[in-house]
Amino acid sequence: MDDRMRRRAPRFVRPLPGSRARRVGGPLRYLRRPVLDHPVVLAAFEGWNDAGEAASYATAYLERSWGAVPVAEIDPEEFFDFTEVRPEVAIAGDGRREISWPATRIMVAASRTGERDVVLVRGHEPHLRWRSYAEVVAEVARGLRADQVVTLGAYLSEVTHTGPVPVNAASSSAGTLDRYGLSPSFYEGPTGIVGVLGLVLPEAGIPTATVWASVPCYSLPVSAKAALALVRVVTRLTGRPVATEELEEEAAEYEQRMDELVRDDESVAAYVARLEEMEGHPGPGPSAEGLAEEIERYLRGRPQG
């Protein structure tokens, strides 16, 4: 190992054995304290912010590809209604039953080759105390000396599955969108934890960028194509490359399954045809009302898996 790689190897302060976590104040629990070089924090949340599971799937893909290791978690007790997102029971190898709570997982992908360190935050959108939750995320960013937080989201939109995935963004730093060739978001209306973090964190002095991918209203889960679009934007924002061949194959398979959906269901096919017509003739868009019912009916009629 050369000197540069030795300097860049992940280091931890006082690692704790096994899965025992050390509570450092409030709901934030560290498994070990990483020593990082001004990383970027990447956050995604399942639920309302995550159409087609694109944002959470993209983040999970990056965790695997970069070999991220768990370093901390946000205890869910203060932030979740467990009747909405229930804990899960599993039987361990020794026969004991264990409960897995819906905590927010914090992982670190420390670079060994000179690229930027990345902290990945992934969990379900909390139900309660969003301002307090945002303060905990800010604590994570400050504690790990991050100089930027990038949040990922995905929303249902009247787009087709065959074209490029529209991506738009917002940033608290002037010039960021132009520098990375990102289209600005002009959305106004109800928001989720991603939107809250995008506004609360800059108020706490932490620069933030929020990136959204558009997912067709008639999409099947999981939209690997939208996840791929988000991953590609993340590599630009972080300067951290990642191999995307596996995700590209999944995106191609997703398109094939969507083609089957359109071919096999007349209602969906008519809706897509109207969308394609509107792409060539701008004007009032077609309504997606009732399309969810058509998709559910289609899924019920397909063989399992």
pLDDT > 80? residue 3:
no
Architecture of domain 3-242 in this structure? 3-Layer(aba) Sandwich (3.40)
Is the pLDDT at 131 greater than 60, yes or no? yes
Contacts of 253 by beta carbon, 8 Å cutoff, 6+ apart:
224
pLDDT tens per residue across span 26-72: 899 999 888 898 999 999 999 999 999 999 999 999 999 999 999 99
Higher pLDDT, 302 or 141: 141
For the cut 90, the answer to whether the pLDDT of residue 252 exceeds it is yes
Q: What is the average pLDDT across 261-268?
A: 90
Judged against a pLDDT cut of 60, whether residue 288 lies above it is answered with: no
pLDDT band at 275 (very low <50, low <70, confident <90, very high): confident
Q: Which has more pLDDT, 249 or 294? A: 249
Give exposure, 160-174, as e/b (b: 16+ Cβ within 10 Å): bbeeebebbbbbbee
Task: Give the whole-number percent of the chain exceeding pLDDT 70.
Answer: 83
34: how many CB neighbours lie within 10 A of its CB? 24
Q: Could you tell me which residues are beta bridge partners of residue 287? A: none
As a whole number of angstroms, the distance between CA 144 and CA 300 comes to: 46
- Residue 277 has what pLDDT? 82
Mean pLDDT over 124-148 rounds to: 96
Domain extents in the chain = 3-242
